[in-house]
Homo-oligomer: A and B are copies of this chain.
Amino acid sequence: MDATRPGANGNPLLGVDIGGTKVAAGLVDSRGRILLARHRRMVARGTPQEGLEPVFASIGEVLDDPRAKRVHTIGVSVPGWVDPGRGIVLRAANIPCWRNFPLARKIRRRFQLPVRTGNDGNLAALAEATWGAGRGYASLLYVTVGTGVGTGIVIDGRLYSGRAGGAVEGGHLPINFRGPRCGCGKRGCAEAYFSGTAIARRARRLAATPAGRKSKLFDLAGGKIRAVTAETVARAAAEDDPLAARILDEAAGYFAIWLGGMIDLLEPGVIIIGGGMGRLMLSLRSRLRRGLEAWAANPRREEIPLVAARYGADSALVGAAALGLADNE
């Protein structure tokens, strides 16, 4: 499968993005643009069948559209661990109703179309490789920094997802095994240092200090320490608050330590950065480059482009649609 060559026949592609609270199904054209999208509220905590209903409903509604006539594959993104070969959802933290659940088979039986599945971070990487910031590169590392840290790798147009779909969880590489506890149970993971969650935690700690109480961080949260979020940090930094700037500078430093390791390990053709906090750290470009001088041993580290992702919230839907290109040629 050469996913960098969109199907030339112009058939629209159907992508489904299943999240913990929402489902979106949509049609994507051969240039990676969403033609239409249908949304449902996800039912993630009921029976497995209850979880399927909003998925079926959103797909059905898209297939009812005349433009969907020539859809030949349904690509599905799941925010968790899915075995792409067999289309089984092994475990997804935010969709507890499905565990070792044969999602692809269920959808295939309902709609009589081939189904391909993948993990949301991996599919976002595929979207960038196919139509986004990764076009023209032989390999890419994708990283999205939002609440957590998601990653994906595409090599020669092919998504890399490991032996059974469990890769690529780069957010759980430890950068300091004596560091803070991560949600995954390990210590000092990347995600525990520079995710939105980690940044917000650090900001709350600093906002509670005497200096913090004089900062815009404190003001913007209405004086409630618990209301300080990563978004508060972003806004305070935009208003030139020194404490917020310091927090972002630290986070970008940790990000550079991790990026440097990834460069030494993978030397990707391009590094694509998405997510709210990712974009914000990318805006501190000279800080990142300075960090990479210290934290990437690769002597050509500065030649690897650091670029913003094309896709945002719709990256998993578009990437899921891109899975259909393998059947579209």
Contacts and interface: CB of A to CB of B under 8 A. Distances in A.
A266 B178 CA distance: 22
Name which of A172, A185, A254, A266 has the most chain B CB atoms within 10 A of its CB: A266
Interface stretch (A200-208, A229-237, A243-251, A257-265): A257-265
Nearest to A270: B163
A164 B261 contact: no
Interface string A110-148: 000000000000000000000000000111000000000
Interface string A148-162: 000100010000111
A63 interface: no
Interface in A174-203: 174-179, 184-186, 188
Contact of A162 (B163, B268, B294, B295): B268
A163 B270 CA distance: 9
Interface in A255-306: 257, 260-261, 264-269, 294-295, 297-300, 304
B155 A138 contact: no
A77 B170 CA distance: 30
Contacts of A261: 172-174
19 contacts: A81-B299, A90-B300, A138-B163, A139-B162, A155-B155, A162-B266, A166-B267, A169-B298, A170-B265, A172-B261, A172-B264, A173-B264, A174-B295, A176-B188, A185-B294, A185-B297, A186-B260, A186-B295, A186-B297
Nearest to A269: B163
A166 to B, nearest CB: 4
B139 A163 contact: yes
Contacts of A188: 176
Contacts of A172: 261, 264-265, 297
A299 B91 contact: yes
Name which of A161, A165, A261, A299 has the most chain B CB atoms within 10 A of its CB: A261
Can you tell how many copies of this chain the complex includes? 2
Interface of A: 81, 90-91, 137-139, 151, 155, 160-170, 172-179, 184-186, 188, 254, 257, 260-261, 264-269, 294-295, 297-300, 304
Given A176-B176, A295-B186, A163 B265 contact: no
A214 to B, nearest CB: 30
A174 B257 contact: yes
Contacts of A155: 155, 160
A89 to B, nearest CB: 13
A257 B261 CA distance: 15
- 8 nearest A-B residue pairs (beta carbon): A162-B267, A184-B297, A167-B267, A166-B267, A173-B261, A172-B264, A169-B264, A163-B269
A261 B177 CA distance: 11
Contacts of A298: 166, 169
A294 B184 CA distance: 10
A266 B163 CA distance: 8
A170 B176 CA distance: 16
A50 B135 CA distance: 43
A247 to B, nearest CB: 18
